[in-house]
Structure 1
Amino acid sequence: MKLMSFISQNRSTFGLVEGEYVYDLGRRLGKACPDLLSAIKGGWLNRLEALVENSQPDFHVDDVVFLPVIPNAPRIFCAGLNYLAHRVEGNRPDTEVPVIFLRLNESQVGHNRPLVCPAESDQFDFEGEIAIVIGKGGRRIPEDQAFEHVAGYSCYNDGSVRDWQLATNQWTPGKNFDATGGFGPWLVTTDELSTDRVLSLVTRLNGEEMQRTTTDMLTFSIPTLISFISTFTSLEPGDVIVTGTPGGVGLRRNPQVWMKEGDVVEVEVEGVGILKNTIIKETLRK
């Protein structure tokens, strides 16, 4: 099952995607379940397909505005340096535990929406990643039970403003400029994409492949990330965990490659789809 958040007719809602068409679940469920976060928290995921049986879709996917998959996620946890090739290209030492930082909801946009290179920097870098969304909360989740807590998968571009990120040891500023990260196009639930499947991840800039890896190359696996994060905080339904980027980022290339006005960046995850965003440059009014 594919689920997306979107805007249509100036109304934010969520829907079920089948082929090129979208069923408006927010309209069908009303105030009881207005968005995808509410559906996850309310235990609706196993009942959503039944809502659209024998009904006509409401929209073509080209006629809606994509929002981030979970526009109002409780928390967005990101794993840094979680592929060996990315750690090596940055000359970073081994880590015994995952490196975790947070992103804000305002730092994300949906599929087909522009990513904004901020006025304060020209060092805007791509980081293709796989995101998971938590379906069932918990604290101190054992690794062998971790996948029971996953609602599904999506694509993510952890767009990074490198000079701001690397100005100190704390990465928060460079990871949280408004509209610098992409999240979408939709959530593919685990009933369609099994949790034991090895997934490929590819990032392309203007059609040129920049990154490629598979999830079996993660330093800390998805169950390990879930177990680790849930040790220091209770995971909630709708929380997002972004699992890390492989080698090939623009910062570490020679010459360096930065995303600029008019560039098109794509993050493709096997079994999920392609997250596509065009880059625009922010200008400040004088």
Structure 2
Amino acid sequence: MKYLCSFLFVLLIISLKSQTINIISVEQKNQKIYINYNLTGTQNKYDIKIYVKSKLSYSWSDALISVYGDVGPDQKVGYNKQIIWDVLKDRDGLTGEWIFGIEAVSKKTKTNKDIYSTNNPKWSFSSYVDFFSFLKSGIQFNRNYNSEVTFDSEYNESITKIIPIGLKFVSGNDKDFRFSFDFNYSKCIYDFEYESFSSFNNYSMNIEKSIFRASLFFEFHNSKKSDKYYEPYTIFGFGYKQSNYIFESTNPDFELEENYWLLGNTTFRFAKGFNFYLSDNLGILLEIGIGGGGMLRTGLIYRSS
């Protein structure tokens, strides 16, 4: 196993200078296995071979024979290419977890191989922070609660905010369509002194605004441009939003309502993002969108093996 890991590491370096082959997915339909892959490189044609081994095995089998599709000599570079393996013509059956390897060889370059496990990720979990939200401008817009504050009389202003932080859980291992559950929380505190509209005396005001969101998103992953370490996606969805205001003033005549609920409790988000995996399981997400938090989102992501 140590020799295999070293071998694959050398091939990844070579692929940067010659060709890159990435297996997108492996699917079973009836008695056949469908292997989808992308092939890019500097040469026009390659000899494609496919191998298989048990997850518990240390060695690869010989190149599979009962295969057809985009396999064999004189294969051109391209995306979403497919190999079909008629399993029962080569062996009695195929049970358990298996790893597939595709080899691309040209006469002018060395070999490049990519592997894919039949134990596909079935879920992923991420934690993130948002930037460039409208939390600050929103709390300033609602500062004149109950017509207490004289227009443009604020001074000695101070704003403290907790940028939106959240958790996301993605379910399903379909190569293109998935569902995700998203939860995030943000808070802003606004302190200032002002002139009261009713008495024209000066007082201090403290406003706290907090938002909690729970959303369901539909995720569309572009499998044609994805590989094991790079995954672009688009999300869209709706959810529930709870916005809470708390107002406190040093004015003894100020009528305080501890909880001031904003009208409207629906949130939405549309965004495009990328998952960059640093290993088989751990990666970084980067997302740009509108609604449901900040315009820029980044964090850590973990996917199942």
Do they fold alike, i.e. is TM over 0.5? no
Structure scoring higher RCO (CA < 8 A, sep ≥ 6) equals: 1
When you count strand as a share of all residues, which structure comes out higher?
2
Structure with greater Cα Rg = 2
When you count helix as a share of all residues, which structure comes out higher?
1
